[in-house]
Amino acid sequence: MDYEQAAEFWEKRDASGAKAPDARERLEAFLATRHVCALATGAGDAVRCTPIEYGWRDGAFWLFSEGGRKFACLARNPHVSLAVFDTGTEYGALHSAQIQGTATIVEPESEEFQRALSAKHIPEEAARRAGDRLHLIKVVPEEADFLDSGLRRDGYDIRQHIAF
């Protein structure tokens, strides 16, 4: 198998595809109306893919977690990938996004952490009770591949590559 040829498929197709001028806005609207993603982390031979709730605001993903092996990967490699998708199987109704970005851990004493608690409707008292078990991962996207079958009816390719 020619792995390199297969890997380059979308880049070659994207070069001649019809770009939607509002692709980023469409992507952000999609992300704002979903709440679960698959977060992929990796370091060395360790790879982890974690289904996790997220919030999308201020151009970033905000993910609360009590812990797990993903943190061992994040300690060694902050580069992550997230997948957000609809599970429908109807032809012509594809909606998904694959996002590459950088993750940071937000300090519990920070204003960002407090805003994220509020946005998620987590009472401060509940966060205090969780103590050092409650962590906040912030993922800032760098690029995304957005698939939306609806783009075709507007004259654009259904796949849009977006750089942030």
Instruction: Please answer whether residues 113 and 122 qualify as being in contact, where contact means their C-beta atoms are separated by less than 8 angstroms.
Output: no
Question: What is the domain class of 3-163 according to CATH?
Answer: mainly beta
- Whether 92 has a pLDDT exceeding 80, the answer reads no
In percent, how much of the chain has pLDDT > 90?
77
- Whether 139 has a pLDDT exceeding 70, the answer reads yes
Strands 46-53 and 79-85, bridge-based pairing: unpaired
Question: Domain segments of the chain: what residues?
Answer: 3-163
Q: What is the pLDDT of residues 119-132, one digit of tens each?
A: 999 888 888 788 78
Check residues 79 and 92 and name the one with the higher pLDDT. 79
- Average pLDDT on 120-146 reads 90
